[in-house]
Chains A and B, each alone.
Chain A
Amino acid sequence: MESAKSFGLTGFKYTRHVIIPAIVPALISGATLAWCDGWFFMIAAEYVEYMGSTYSVPGLGSYLAKAAYVYNDLNLSIILLVLITGIVLYLNFLTWHRLMERASAGTYKPTIRIGLSGVGKLGTVGSRFLHLGDHIHRPKSLILASKWLKRYTRLEKAIAIALSLVAVFSIIYFIAGRIPSVEVFQQAFADTEFANLPLYTALTLGRLAVAYVISLGIALGMGVLAAEHKRFAAIFYPIYDIGQAVPILALFPIFYIAFSRVFGGTLGLEVTAIVVLVLDMIWYMFLNVVSAVKNIPSEIKEVGHLFGLKRLKRITHLVIPAILPAIVTGSILSWGTGWNTIIFAEYMPYGKPTIYPNPAVINQTYAAVGQNFTVSIDVFDVVSLHSWQTSVIFDAHVLQCNMVSEGEFLSSIGTTLWNSGQINNTSGYIGPINSTLLKNGLGANGSGHLAYIYFTKIAPVDSEINLEETKMLDATEDIIPSSKVYSLPGLGSYLDKTGYLPPPKGNPVRLIFLLGVVATIVLLMEGLVWRRLLRKFEKYRVEV
């Protein structure tokens, strides 16, 4: 770095020729992790529970989520998981690994070379130009990789600027458009659960801490072994590749079934959440440990060898202290992703939706053109249903609605106030359909039909029937989720409920407040723990 400064490389040139090539390997492994995190959350992002109903974007993620959560189809979810893992590994192999190999050429050779020979020459010229008497031999491939990446960083910069502008404007628009009313503010802090916030925070921090300690332990063991013994590296690298790539959240229901058998319901859920967290947090630690152990200066290793430091003594006196700074960086990343994950791990939708149209797809075998048929709106395994509301969306080119009538599930309990809603056969909409028991404190349990909708089929194609603006309340006016959720008490699940459920449980002000709590904790940890540790361990860095 100093050699570069002495040649007058400053500012942008300095960044281009010195900083970027120097951090290319880190950038690439960072990108790998970012992609894998992307895969990880694709599941969560494509399948979201919001305001009591489920939103899904068509995609591999939502398909997998549906397979696991809705259909409880173990075979299908495993097939899809294998497919996703395959895609991720293929991508890793094709792009990141190759880039990594190019970037760290000199330490090990690329196994695949495609169309590199032509560019190679250019690279040599470039490297000769860049060397400027530099005594460190910089592999030409590194420059190629940096060139390649540089183009993308500039593009990314543009995208990042555009996105942040959009974000800023939308936030301004959002805030200006709807300043929360006093009522919303009051609701935010009047919630019964709000008093539990300290407890929730402690529980969530506890889960994160337990998962962190476990992942630190395992990652240390695996990382040191993988860095020092080729035999272990051959086992652990593929595990790492697959482990970081598999969308663990999709396995949540399967883990839960397994662990609840061993530990029982509540504890099983705790164990599942912690296992999911560990499987998410461990890889940052592992990667950092491996590269740090590999980068221990040879002189330090020789000192250990010369003075006979072996096994445990070598680990405690030499290896661990040498990698402490890397452990701290790994920990910061682990906690970061841990916070992301726990918000999902404490509150996961699963199983059948509690309210759904039956059947959801009208195909040719179900009804021919001109035929009349009935679709029922069903509930599944609800507790103390007192009132409900929904709207029905259908394809008006295929179906025409004739009538809506009430089912017997609620009306068999007591007198109801029934509203069959407006039928719009032009846009394909019926609603809002709602019904409520007149007597307070009354509720229906179990499964049954809420309403019947009478249709005529008018075109020989399939049509989906979807529910919208669905809401169910129990006898205590609390929301019944539109699909079953695993929920652990904690900051994460409280955040989810505040964000996803309709008011009064859901509340934008409380949501921002809770996000502020999370941000405060993260900042406190950063300032009080990580910064201090880094400053302390900075002294431990070996000067070469």
Chain B
Amino acid sequence: MAVLEVKNVTKSFQLEKSKISVLEDVSFSVDSDEFVCLVGPSGCGKSTLLRIIAGLEKPDSGEILFHGQPQTSPTRKITMIFQMFGLLPWKTAQENVEVPLEVLGMKKESREEIAKSHLRMVGLEGFENTYPHDLSGGKKQRVGIARALALQPEVLLRDEPFSSLDELTAKTLRTLVLEIWRDPSLPTNTFLMVSHNVEEAVYLADRVIIMSSRPGKVVGEVKVDLPRPRTQYLRDPKYFKRVDEVIAILEKNKHEVEAKS
């Protein structure tokens, strides 16, 4: 069943005198319990699309349906983890997790408890009173994950979450993300992630949606049917086949764009 539907979304920005078309007629859907990755060259509008889904920006036309209902503003059911982690530097790890809960009108004791348990879940016990300034990139990312999960959303959007981390940290966090996704005790089980790393996308996702740039369009889709956990397949030809399929679609469209211009 489709939890999230993106229907004919078009978006352009006004820059000085010229109008730049960012997204053109983008449609796809994400099913319940599905892990979908959006890949595409930089400037293909994937981050903008994620922001439209999160309700942070309005599309020029088209709509976002959540369980069949149009979605135009941010909701706690769909939440996002930012590329640069989006932590408020003036709040401790714990306070950062508490902010959205405070907005929901939750009492101090219960939000402290929820924040503590979620920080523990992402392995940040003992860092509750540390400011983001003193946390490593990976730990900041963990705080961002804890903050998003504390809201108990159904859909988790992730905007290139590992792009600013070193490969080792990214690897650990990918495992953590998959654990969260597969944890049946958590309500958060539908993931939509933007990435420009094809191998990462194939490793994580059930389905990889490929976008082209200027304007951003959906140009293809690759189903990844490798069994999980996939760590054992990382040297497997089956894994590389999927990666090559995605790259082939990306390359083809890259040439088309170049031919057009």
Which A residues contact B (CB, under 8 angstroms)? Answer: 109, 297, 299-300, 302-303, 305-309, 313, 317-318, 321-322, 324, 539-544
Contacts and interface: CB of A to CB of B under 8 A. Distances in A.
B26 interface: no
Contact of A322 (B87, B90, B102): B90
A306 B90 contact: no
Contacts of B91: 317, 321
B99 A302 contact: no
A299 B82 contact: yes
A309 B90 contact: no
Interface in B70-99: 74, 76, 79-80, 82-84, 86-91, 99
Contacts of A324: 90
B74 A308 contact: yes
B97 to A, nearest CB: 11
Given A308-B74, A313-B103, A303 B86 contact: yes
Interface string B91-133: 1000000011011100000000000000000000000000101
Interface residues of B, number: 27
Nearest to B100: A307
Contacts of A317: 88, 91, 99
A305 B74 CA distance: 7
A544 B51 contact: no
A321 B133 contact: no
B16 interface: yes
B82 A302 contact: yes
Nearest to B78: A306
Given A306-B74, A307-B74, 19 more contacts: A299-B83, A299-B84, A299-B86, A300-B86, A300-B88, A302-B82, A303-B88, A306-B54, A306-B55, A306-B79, A307-B151, A308-B76, A313-B103, A318-B88, A321-B89, A322-B90, A539-B90, A541-B89, A544-B84
B56 interface: yes
Nearest to A302: B56
A539 B90 CA distance: 7
B215 to A, nearest CB: 21
Contacts, number: 62
Contacts of A302: 51, 56, 82, 86
A542 to B, nearest CB: 5
A300 B90 CA distance: 11
12 contacts: A297-B84, A299-B86, A302-B51, A306-B56, A306-B80, A308-B100, A308-B103, A318-B88, A539-B89, A539-B90, A543-B133, A544-B84
B95 to A, nearest CB: 9
A291 B210 CA distance: 39
Interface centre among A109, A306, A318, A539 (most CB of B within 10 A): A306
A307 B151 CA distance: 9
A540 B92 CA distance: 11
Contacts of B89: 321, 539-543
A315 to B, nearest CB: 13
A324 B54 CA distance: 29
B88 A321 contact: yes
A78 to B, nearest CB: 43
A309 B99 CA distance: 8
A32 B104 CA distance: 45
Interface in B35-74: 51, 54-56, 74
A543 B82 CA distance: 13
Contacts of A542: 89
Nearest to A538: B133
Contacts of A540: 89-90, 133
A179 to B, nearest CB: 54
The 10 closest A-B pairs by CB, nearest first: A321-B90, A307-B100, A539-B133, A303-B86, A540-B90, A308-B103, A540-B89, A306-B74, A299-B86, A302-B56
A309 B56 CA distance: 13
A109 B54 contact: no
A541 B90 CA distance: 8
B167 to A, nearest CB: 20
A299 B164 CA distance: 15
A543 B89 CA distance: 9
Nearest to B147: A307
A214 B237 CA distance: 70
A313 B88 CA distance: 14
Given A308-B100, A321-B90, A303 B74 contact: no
A76 to B, nearest CB: 48
Nearest to A308: B103
Contacts of B56: 302, 305-306
Given A305-B74, A307-B99, A308-B74, A539 B86 contact: no
B177 to A, nearest CB: 19
A324 B80 CA distance: 27
A305 B104 CA distance: 13
A321 B96 CA distance: 13
B154 to A, nearest CB: 15
A317 B89 CA distance: 11
Interface string B18-33: 0000000000000000
Nearest to A317: B99
Contacts of B79: 306
Contacts of A109: 16
A307 B90 contact: no
A504 B32 CA distance: 90
Nearest to A322: B90
Nearest to B82: A299
Interface in B192-236: none
Given A300-B88, A302-B86, A307 B131 contact: no
Contacts of A299: 82-84, 86
A291 to B, nearest CB: 18
A395 B88 CA distance: 73
B136 to A, nearest CB: 12
A313 to B, nearest CB: 7
Nearest to A313: B103
B103 A307 contact: yes
A321 B88 CA distance: 9
A245 B147 CA distance: 48
A327 to B, nearest CB: 13
Nearest to B51: A302
A86 to B, nearest CB: 33
A403 to B, nearest CB: 80
Contacts of A297: 84
A197 B246 CA distance: 80
Contacts of B134: 539
Contacts of A321: 88-91
A544 B80 CA distance: 18
